[in-house]
Amino acid sequence: MNNANTQKLLEVRDLHKSYEKDGVPTRALNGITFDVLPGEYMGIMGASGSGKTTLLNCIATIIKPTSGQILLSGTNISVFGGDELSEYRGSKIGYLFQDFALLDNLTGRENILLPLSIHDVNASTAEAKLAGIAGFLGITDVLSKFPSQMSGGQKQRVAAARCLISDPSIILADEPTGALDTKTARSLMEKLQEINRKRSRTILMVTHDPNAASFCSRILFIQDGVIFHELRRQVPAETRDHFYGRILRVMAQIGGGSANVL
Ligand SMILES: Nc1ncnc2c1ncn2[C@@H]1O[C@H](COP(=O)(O)OP(=O)(O)O)[C@@H](O)[C@H]1O
Ligand SMILES: [Mg+2]
């Protein structure tokens, strides 16, 4: 493994995915290639049906790509089987879903501790970690509640805590603000930014909300399963408002079908 490789946290190489439905193939990913460096907060934008969830699910090993490679810290994840796969899913990646994906019959505390219970972590270590993360996310007072007793914003913070508890190398988030109102979405974005900056977590977030995307340090725009454009925020010189303006302009171009002018 050379130095160039060790610096990249995630490498996605010429990824293709076709779904077969009633004998008719849908080409969801048509050759996607990009790298994510440690500490990046990467956004992925694109119209509905452009392949964003498929991409994230391939990285999460929820689905298998038709061809291409995905490497995490230089290791090809597609060769994983059995134990390696559950180790990868359980402790290398954290997945934040639009609909939170909490277990309804477990309390906040139990939901958050679930990834650790699979990994046999001792109780006092687990409790200390839980207290730290819950304090950071401001959810200490909902730990004994069930998901049905929490607001949307609280549920997503509990889900974020469940992601953080196993110290994943990368957090994958699929439209994490999609089910939240504007104000709650903004406060979740601020927390994710803190998770990225203060807790040095690498995040890969799918969103079609330009506001949420403006918190990212880099954005890939996907159209019809290929990368169509990339924006980089000039940190720290560029304000979030300015970056937001640039995102809107790319979105307008995509919407106007003028893909070839960029
Ligand atoms: N399980 C599936 N079976 C068949 N087609 C699918 C399946 N999942 C997604 N697709 C198709 O693949 C394309 C990309 O979908 P998806 O990755 O969900 O896009 P996005 O998240 O950007 O909305 C769409 O045309 C969608 O209909
Ligand atoms: Mg999707």
Terminal alpha carbon distance of the chain? 35
Please tell me the distance between residue 244's alpha carbon and the centre of ligand 1 in angstroms: 27
Ion ligand 2, residue ranges at CB < 5 A = 52-53
Residues in contact with ligand 1 (CB, 6 Å cut-off) = 19, 21, 26, 28, 46, 48-54
State yes or no: cis peptide before 25, omega within 30 of 0. no
pTM of the full structure? 0.92
Q: How far is the CA of 221 from the centre of ligand 2 (A)?
A: 14
Query: Domain spans of the chain?
Result: 3-261
User: Is residue 56 within 8 Å of residue 206, measured between CB atoms?
Assistant: yes
CA 247 to centroid of chain Cα atoms: 19
Give pLDDT < 70 ranges for the chain.
1-6, 256-262
Give the ligand whose atoms come closest to the C-alpha of residue 98. 2
> Looking at residue 79, what DSSP letter applies?
G
174 burial via Cβ count (<10 Å: 0-12, 13-18, 19+)? buried
Q: How far apart are CA 74 and CA 67, in angstroms?
A: 18
Instruction: Return the ligand 1 atom nearest residue 225 CA.
Output: 14
Q: Given the structure tokens 């977590």, which residue do they identify?
A: 201
Distance 53 CA to ligand 1 centre (A): 7
Q: Which amino acid is at 225?
A: G
Q: Which CATH class is domain 3-261?
A: alpha beta
**Residue to mutate (ligand 1; options 54, 57, 58, 226; most atoms within 8 A of CB):** 54
Ligand 2 mean position to 189 CA, how many Å? 18
Token reading at 128: 């200390």
d(CA 239, CA 244): 9
